[in-house]
């Protein structure tokens, strides 16, 4: 052990991020299930649960949106991982071509290698550009999800109010409101962890 | 990396090896190149670890744009794991390699270079003046394996056949056949799996006129040592791990 911290490669962090998203996905699916249950109860409750119907519609929509957003985040994270592997390979190749060019120093053909090195520099630059774009996209998508979880908290408050007017359905609806609240909290927690991966990624990418 | 010219006619044969910059724990390899007027063939270009030295050595003999063809005798990492890097350097080249290994060799990274899948019976490659034969050498040691024969230069690039395990600063040519035998015995007994495949290859190679038998490891055989090697190999029992098991 040298005690020197080894910086994690960006493609590993991006893959970890993609893995972590499965947690969000599972929770969003649970939320969608709660919304389906609530819809069933709202349908059976007639007039007493009429106020609950738009709420269940909102929860369903939110769960679907979250699943769609997570899927997009997953794609972007995977793209970051792929680009990062490509950048690492181009960087390694560049290093080896530079060594060969140094060995050919003074030979006319050294210039032929300079062209390859320039090509790799362009590849690396393109990878960096793609990574930066992807990072901004990730932040944007996480903002979108968070915005929805904040809205979900407000809906939970409304749900509890509507549940109190639902007579015999009150307990069911309250438990649904609780599970939606738990899901929203859980998603927020996961997003917080995911954002820390994004920060690590930003740092790792800018350090390469 | 040391380079040795084996043949100089209308085209050239060059052997590369004995790389002093090579990491110690990796096996020493010989690489070969045929340089013709506008086209050149690089044979078993080697692993990632020797790529820089190899590229620099190659460019002392030809332009990067004139390396039009690559050859991989089989799929091993010491043969072709540098492929992903050559792919960056030679985007318009063609790799000639066994059809059997195409899906495997592509794992080394092949985005630009074209893969010419060699059929089991072999194929010829016409450069400018040089006509080269991709000679079947299946199961020696790989199940899809070829050697390269040049009738004009009388050189057989024999892949792992004739290989010897010895220090990286060993001479390029066999000087005393009897002294050389112990250096190749283990390699052939253990790496070569089939006595039948060995005999088929020997019968085929005995039909050829060979001045140089150039393996991928160890020293090159010249003149009468080529025949001595074939006799020695013919008498050798191979597939030693199976014998040891029984």
Give, in order, the Cα–Cα distances in Å from B158 to each of B31, B116, B216: 11, 20, 7
DSSP A19: H
> What local confidence, expressed as pLDDT, does residue A2 receive?
39
Residues of chain B above pLDDT 90, percent:
85
Task: Give the span between the Cα atoms of A184 and B59, in whole angstroms.
Answer: 62
Task: Give the span between the Cα atoms of B230 and B184, in whole angstroms.
Answer: 13
Give, in order, the Cα–Cα distances in Å from A92 to each of A99, A120, A122, B15, B237: 11, 10, 14, 26, 43
> What local confidence, expressed as pLDDT, does residue A7 receive?
64
Task: Give the span between the Cα atoms of B20 and B12, in whole angstroms.
Answer: 24
Read off the pLDDT of each residue in B62-85 and give the average, rounded to a whole number: 95
pLDDT of B59 > 50? The answer is yes
Read off the pLDDT of each residue in B210-219 and give the average, rounded to a whole number: 98
Task: Give the span between the Cα atoms of A57 and A61, in whole angstroms.
Answer: 6
> How many CA atoms are closer than 13 Å to the CA of A29, on its beta-carbon side?
8
pLDDT of B228 > 50? The answer is yes
Strand order in the sheet with B12-17: B2-8, B12-17, B31-35, B40-43, B67-71, B94-98, B114-118
- Kindly report the nearest CA distance between residue B64 and chain A, in angstroms: 7
Interface contact B84-A96, CB threshold 8 A: no
Closest listed residue to residue A18, CA positions, set A99, A105, A77, A106? A77
Here the tokens at position B13 are 């044969």
CB of A68 within 8 Å of a chain B CB? The answer is: no
Q: Which residue of B has its CA nearest to A115?
A: B89
Query: Is B10 in contact with B21 (CB distance < 8 Å)?
Result: no
Give, in order, the Cα–Cα distances in Å from A156 to each of A166, A187, A192, B200: 15, 15, 21, 80
Helices (H) and strands (E) in chain A, counts: 4, 0
Task: Give the span between the Cα atoms of B121 and B73, in whole angstroms.
Answer: 14
Closest listed residue to residue A59, CA positions, set A200, A158, A194? A158
Here the tokens at position B224 are 């009468």
Q: pLDDT tier at B235 (50, 70, 90 boundaries)?
A: very high
Query: Is B13 in contact with B6 (CB distance < 8 Å)?
Result: yes
Strand order in the sheet with B131-136: B123-126, B131-136, B146-150, B155-157, B212-214, B221-222
Closest listed residue to residue B131, CA positions, set B50, B69, B48? B69
Read off the pLDDT of each residue in B195-201 and give the average, rounded to a whole number: 98
- The DSSP code sequence of B102-123 is HHHHGGGT-SSSEEEEE-TT-E
Identify the weakest region by mean pLDDT among A81-90, B27-36, B186-195, B229-238.
A81-90
Identify the weakest region by mean pLDDT among A42-56, B11-25, B29-43, B112-126.
A42-56
A vs B: CB pairs below 8 A = 50
Q: Higher pLDDT residue, B217 or A177?
A: B217
Q: Going along chain B, which residue ranges are E strands? A: 2-8, 12-17, 31-35, 40-43, 67-71, 94-98, 114-118, 123-126, 131-136, 146-150, 155-157, 212-214, 221-222
ipTM surpassing 0.90, yes or no?
Answer: no
CB of A111 within 8 Å of a chain B CB? The answer is: no
Task: Give the span between the Cα atoms of A154 and A57, in whole angstroms.
Answer: 14
Interface contact A97-B60, CB threshold 8 A: no
Instruction: Identify all chain A residues contacting B52, using CB atoms and an 8 Å cutoff.
Output: 96-97, 99-100, 103
> What local confidence, expressed as pLDDT, does residue B244 receive?
66
Per-residue pLDDT of chain A (208 residues; tens, 9 = 90+): 334 445 677 887 887 787 778 778 888 888 888 888 888 888 888 887 887 788 888 888 888 898 899 889 888 888 888 888 889 889 999 999 999 999 998 888 999 999 999 999 999 999 999 999 999 999 999 999 999 888 888 888 888 888 888 888 888 888 888 888 898 899 899 889 889 988 988 888 777 6
Here the tokens at position A32 are 């969608």
Query: Is B218 in contact with B234 (CB distance < 8 Å)?
Result: no
Tens of pLDDT along A72-119? 988 888 888 888 888 988 999 999 999 999 999 888 899 999 999 999
Q: Which phi and psi (to 5°) does residue B89 adopt?
A: -85, -35
Query: Is B12 in contact with B39 (CB distance < 8 Å)?
Result: no
Tens of pLDDT along B135-165? 999 999 999 999 999 999 999 999 999 999 9
> What local confidence, expressed as pLDDT, does residue B212 receive?
98
Q: Which residue of B has its CA nearest to A102?
A: B56
Interface contact A96-B59, CB threshold 8 A: no
Q: Which phi and psi (to 5°) does residue A70 adopt?
A: -60, -40
> What local confidence, expressed as pLDDT, does residue A9 receive?
77
């Amino acid at each position: 052990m040298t005690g020197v911290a080894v910086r994690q490669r960006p493609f590993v962090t991006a893959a970890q991020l993609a893995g972590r998203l499965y947690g969000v996905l599972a929770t969003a699916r649970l939320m969608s299930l709660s919304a389906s249950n609530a819809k069933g109860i709202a349908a059976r409750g007639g007039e007493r649960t009429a106020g609950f119907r738009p709420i269940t519609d909102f929860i369903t929509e939110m769960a679907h949106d979250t699943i769609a957003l997570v899927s997009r985040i997953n794609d972007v994270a995977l793209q970051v991982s792929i680009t990062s592997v490509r950048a690492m390979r181009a960087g390694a190749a560049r290093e080896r071509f530079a060594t060969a060019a140094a060995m050919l120093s003074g030979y006319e053909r050294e210039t032929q290698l300079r062209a390859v090195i320039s090509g790799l520099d362009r590849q690396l630059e393109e990878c960096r550009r793609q990574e930066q774009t992807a990072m901004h996209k990730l932040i944007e998508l996480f903002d979108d999800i968070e915005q929805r979880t904040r809205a979900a908290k407000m809906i939970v408050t409304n749900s509890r109010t509507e549940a109190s007017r639902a007579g015999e359905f009150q307990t069911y609806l309250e438990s649904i409101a609780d599970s939606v609240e738990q899901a929203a909290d859980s998603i927020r927690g996961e997003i917080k962890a995911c954002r820390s991966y994004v920060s690590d990624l930003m740092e790792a990418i800018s350090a390469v | 990396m040391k380079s040795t010219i084996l043949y100089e006619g209308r085209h050239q044969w060059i052997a590369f090896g004995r790389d002093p910059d090579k990491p110690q724990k990796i096996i020493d390899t010989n690489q070969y190149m045929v340089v013709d007027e506008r086209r050149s063939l690089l044979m078993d270009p080697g692993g990632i670890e020797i790529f820089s030295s190899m590229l620099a050595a190659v460019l002392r003999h030809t332009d990067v744009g004139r390396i039009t063809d690559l050859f991989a005798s089989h799929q091993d990492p010491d043969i072709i794991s540098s492929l992903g890097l050559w792919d960056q350097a030679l985007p318009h080249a063609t790799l000639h390699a066994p059809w059997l290994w195409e899906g495997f060799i592509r794992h080394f990274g092949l985005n630009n270079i074209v893969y010419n899948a060699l059929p089991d019976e072999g194929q010829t490659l016409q450069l400018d003046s040089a006509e080269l034969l991709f000679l079947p050498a299946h199961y020696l040691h790989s199940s899809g394996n070829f050697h390269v024969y040049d009738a004009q230069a009388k050189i057989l690039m024999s892949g792992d056949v004739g290989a010897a395990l010895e220090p990286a600063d060993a001479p390029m040519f066999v000087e005393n056949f009897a002294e050389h035998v112990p250096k190749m015995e283990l390699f052939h007994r253990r790496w070569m799996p089939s006595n039948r495949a060995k005999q088929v290859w020997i019968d085929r190679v005995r039909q050829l006129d060979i001045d140089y038998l150039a393996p991928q490891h160890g020293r090159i055989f010249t003149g009468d040592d080529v025949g001595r090697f074939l006799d020695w190999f013919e008498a050798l029992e191979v597939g030693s791990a199976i014998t040891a098991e029984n």
